[in-house]
Structure 1
Amino acid sequence: MKTEIEPGVVVIGAGVVGLSAAIALEARGLAVTVLEREAPAAGASAGNAGAFAFTDILPLASPGILRKAPKWLLDPLGPLSIPPSYAMQIAPWMFRFWRACSASRVALSTAAQTALMDLSKAALEPFLTETGTASMLRKEGNLQVYESQAELDTSLPGWKARAEHGIEFRHMDAAGMAEIQPGLAPRFTHGTFTPGWYSIADPKLYTLALADHFRARGGVIERAEVSGLKAIDGGVEIATADGRTRRVERVVLAAGAFSHLLARGLGENIPLETERGYNTTLPADAFDLRTQVTFGGHGFVVTRLSTGIRVGGAVELGGLKLPPNFRRSEAMLEKARRFLPGLKPDGGVQWMGFRPSMPDSLPAIGRARATANVVYAFGHGHLGLTQSAGTARLVAELLTGQPTSIDIAPFSPQRF
């Protein structure tokens, strides 16, 4: 007997992108089920820095990162590392990353990133209001600090690009920084404050609140580890790790760093890699933090959450299988202790999570090659929270046959 195809949409992944998309689809009258291998907010949505970094329009893949990378790679606990056991496996991705660093490609990526940032910022507050989470939004800005005039000067082309896109910021000396954030070590002589930098009270609690809202509106979240996808007439067949299959009308693939593995079942080889991010969350009284502080030359940030002070960042390109190297968390915490002399470093909780990253720093948003019944929404790197509301709107537009709010060609999953 032929298995009937379930109507509606199945979203694979209950992180912030998947749940935001599910809510946007549900608001448009579609029946939505979310499948999640663990639990809502179990991955990168739980441990990120909590920032809506709408001013971060410059791709990670850039000439600047190429200049810094050799020095960083020499330090196994520094801002960028590749475990030797993973070096050969990541080589094809690194080649694509290198190609994406050309000036012409950076200009195209910046334009696309800016469009998605503008859409996401415009969509955010209406989305927060709709989901009852507006009280979690903070507008405390971000302070990028530098250890010399020369380091500030090196950053100026990036700030010029932001100015051309209407992003507000102001450069300042040590006295100006002290007014915004007292307690910085004297080694930091210059800074740039970006007032339009938003954050969320706690990214895990926010994502869990989205899950609650989705369920309250009639949405269903099921625990299931999806092991394969197959295009069929009129829909998509989903296989799960327990040996079961189900046939559904449409699918949104938003499984973060695991997404490319499932896309292979649809005949796609999408170059998604895993940035393993580390942090330590200290008690709330660990430091009098008044704005998010970015130590760009060292690759980490310090953020005030409602649940504590989070010290984290850096990039370890190490895939999904290697065990965590929490010495990276410890190294960042030790630097934070030196850079913020009043910081109390005790009582912290360490975390490691997977950031899904594409070589050109742009996510994959669009239909699968094999079937229009599958829409991809993954690969946001450090910007999943930031771009979640905008991505949700684009996914909803695609699945309801509406023109998309921005041109999504630059985000095509098939662009490589």
Structure 2
Amino acid sequence: MTGPSKTVAVIGAGIVGVSTAIWLQRDGHSVTLIDKGAPGDAASHGNGGVLASCSVVPVTGPGLIWKAPRMLLDPSQPLFMKWGYVPKLIPWLWKYMRHANANDTRRISRAIAGVTSDSLSDHLALAEGTGAEKWIHPSDYLYIYNDRKHFEGDAFGWGLRRESGFTWEELEGQAFRDYDGVFGPELGFAAKLSDHGRISDPGLYVKDLARHFEAQGGKVIRAEFEDVARENGKVTGVRAGGTLLPCDSVVIASGVWSKPMAEKLGVSVPLEAERGYHLELVEPSIMPRAPVMIASGKFVATPMDGRLRLAGIVEFGGIDAPPSRAPFALLKKNIRAAIPGITWKDEVEWMGHRPAPADSIPVIGEVPGVAGAYLGFGHHHIGLTGGPRTGRLLAQMISGRQPNVDMSVYAPSRYTT
């Protein structure tokens, strides 16, 4: 830390907020973590559990504008829509689809890599000495295809991974079976990336991190955020739960709920709630060796403690509508096709909200014109993967250090009103 110790309020107790709080605490600041819910709930509980450093390919790839309508009309595809929500979605969707071209996709990919590129090491550094290390498991990560031709159909995305420095081993036919023989005969090709990892219980992992933060003198407050108090263009406090908490700096890291909070500071992010689903198979009869992405169904299967978590469905419909049944049915259909003969003793269903900015790039940095106000949200599908790096970058900025990452691509200034 290059400057004096500060009093900092972090709004949001998911992986980004908890990571920020811990790194700030380690820099010697007095930190309070504020959330209306318990740490590790919401998307930080429900994610796929993969430390997917290689997930640098945004959804808005070239040709999406033509593929998406067909996907919506095909019940076997992992894209769903609450049709009554479409009028509200259109302004965001228009901006989102404008990035579905090769040049923007490359630019977005480089930005994503800046917060995901070494996720396993980032998590190990964050969790060191916290008691949360037990949830982190180094592993391979496999993208599984029907065959080589199917894999080559994703050449653009694999080119982006190569540009970000990723390498992989191609396993075909018997070589793939020798690595892991649980998958059905229709799946005959895999791209295996090493130096990745998985979290065997994401929700408990974040809760353990938060408990350590609290044990080290940090404060955790269950309260609803109301506003940021300011004087002469500087943060002086945070109002939450009817109480004013004095502070020098504030970080808004509340995922999809960050949008209205940021608007109070003059930053209007075109952000939509992407409804994500997961289905956990309790005590499955077959467990994959490593986390996998099944390309045909675009879903992830991650081994966890005593269960297999399936995730990857996308649905648009806002934050208020109840879960749909079709996504859970599709996940069951897809896992039975991928691993024939799999059975399980019980199921656990979850639906939550991923914060999806229209340009697919997280918003990270200080708010223009409000000294001491920082934003850290909008991670779309990479919240768990990029959370620790994001928290460290924010702590460096608040502590007066220059991050070794070009922060201009994440700057809130691109959305100031």
| Structure-1-length-normalised TM-score | 0.93
- Deviation larger for 354-363 or 24-33: 354-363
Q: Deviations over 1:234-253 (max 9, x none)?
A: 4244333x544444321110
| CA distance in 1: counterparts of 2:53 and 2:166, whole angstroms | 9
- Contact 1:13–1:35 (CA under 8 A) maintained in structure 2: yes
Q: Show the counterpart of 2:155.
A: 156
Q: Show the counterpart of 1:334.
A: 333
Q: Show the counterpart of 2:238.
A: 238
- Contact 1:168–1:196 (CA under 8 A) maintained in structure 2: no
Measured at CA, do residues 358 and 307 of structure 1 come closer, stay the same or move farther in structure 2, by a change above 3 Å? farther
Q: Deviations over 1:296-324 (max 9, x none)?
A: 23121111011411112111122211111
**2:301 is the alignment partner of 1:315:** no
Q: Show the counterpart of 1:138.
A: 137
Q: Deviations over 1:344-395 (max 9, x none)?
A: 1441110111111112221110112341211100011111111111101110
| CA distance in 1: counterparts of 2:263 and 2:81, whole angstroms | 25
1:180 positional shift: 2.1
- Deviation larger for 76-85 or 31-40: 76-85
1:230 positional shift: 4.5
**2:31 is the alignment partner of 1:37:** no
- Contact 2:366–2:375 (CA under 8 A) maintained in structure 1: yes
Q: Which amino acid aligns with 1:293?
A: V
- Deviation larger for 393-402 or 77-86: 77-86
Q: Show the counterpart of 1:325.
A: 324
1:164 positional shift: 3.3
Q: How does 1:43-122 map to 2 (within 5 A)?
A: 43-63=42-62, 65-75=64-74, 78-118=77-117, 120-122=119-121
> Any idea what SS the aligned residue of 1:63 has?
coil
- Contact 1:277–1:355 (CA under 8 A) maintained in structure 2: yes
- Contact 2:284–2:345 (CA under 8 A) maintained in structure 1: no
Question: Alignment length, in residue pairs?
Answer: 410
| CA distance in 1: counterparts of 2:284 and 2:389, whole angstroms | 34
| CA distance in 1: counterparts of 2:36 and 2:193, whole angstroms | 37
> Any idea what SS the aligned residue of 1:9 has?
strand
| CA distance in 1: counterparts of 2:247 and 2:385, whole angstroms | 30
Q: How does 1:286-305 map to 2 (within 5 A)?
A: 286-305=285-304
Amino-acid identity (%) = 31
| CA distance in 1: counterparts of 2:324 and 2:344, whole angstroms | 19
1:283 positional shift: 1.4
Q: Which amino acid aligns with 2:315?
A: E
| CA distance in 2: counterparts of 1:7 and 1:410, whole angstroms | 26
- Contact 1:230–1:266 (CA under 8 A) maintained in structure 2: no
Q: Show the counterpart of 1:173.
A: 172
Q: Which amino acid aligns with 1:225?
A: E
- Contact 1:231–1:370 (CA under 8 A) maintained in structure 2: no
**2:390 is the alignment partner of 1:391:** yes
Q: Which amino acid aligns with 2:406?
A: D
1:7 positional shift: 6.0
| CA distance in 2: counterparts of 1:311 and 1:114, whole angstroms | 24
1:68 positional shift: 3.1
Q: Show the counterpart of 1:227.
A: 226
- Structure 1 gaps of 5+ residues are 1-5
Q: Deviations over 1:183-236 (max 9, x none)?
A: 212122322111232111211111011011101110110100113334334424
- Contact 1:286–1:345 (CA under 8 A) maintained in structure 2: yes
> Any idea what SS the aligned residue of 1:266 has?
coil
Measured at CA, do residues 326 and 360 of structure 1 come closer, stay the same or move farther in structure 2, by a change above 3 Å? same
Q: Which amino acid aligns with 2:265?
A: L
1:105 positional shift: 1.6
**2:30 is the alignment partner of 1:11:** no
Q: Which amino acid aligns with 1:412?
A: A
- Contact 1:11–1:34 (CA under 8 A) maintained in structure 2: yes
| CA distance in 2: counterparts of 1:7 and 1:49, whole angstroms | 35
| CA distance in 2: counterparts of 1:25 and 1:387, whole angstroms | 17
> Any idea what SS the aligned residue of 2:239 has?
strand
- Structure 2 gaps of 5+ residues are none
| CA distance in 2: counterparts of 1:44 and 1:310, whole angstroms | 14
Q: Show the counterpart of 1:3.
A: none
| CA distance in 2: counterparts of 1:114 and 1:385, whole angstroms | 14
Measured at CA, do residues 132 and 345 of structure 1 come closer, stay the same or move farther in structure 2, by a change above 3 Å? closer
| CA distance in 2: counterparts of 1:84 and 1:77, whole angstroms | 18
1:120 positional shift: 4.5
> Any idea what SS the aligned residue of 1:159 has?
helix
| Structure-2-length-normalised TM-score | 0.92
Q: Which amino acid aligns with 1:386?
A: T
| CA distance in 2: counterparts of 1:307 and 1:204, whole angstroms | 15
Q: Which amino acid aligns with 1:413?
A: P
RMSD: 2.0
> Any idea what SS the aligned residue of 1:39 has?
coil
Q: Which amino acid aligns with 2:151?
A: L
1:402 positional shift: 0.9
Q: Show the counterpart of 1:26.
A: 25
Q: Deviations over 1:114-154 (max 9, x none)?
A: 22223645533222224343332212212212224432111
- Deviation larger for 43-52 or 154-163: 154-163
| CA distance in 1: counterparts of 2:274 and 2:180, whole angstroms | 29
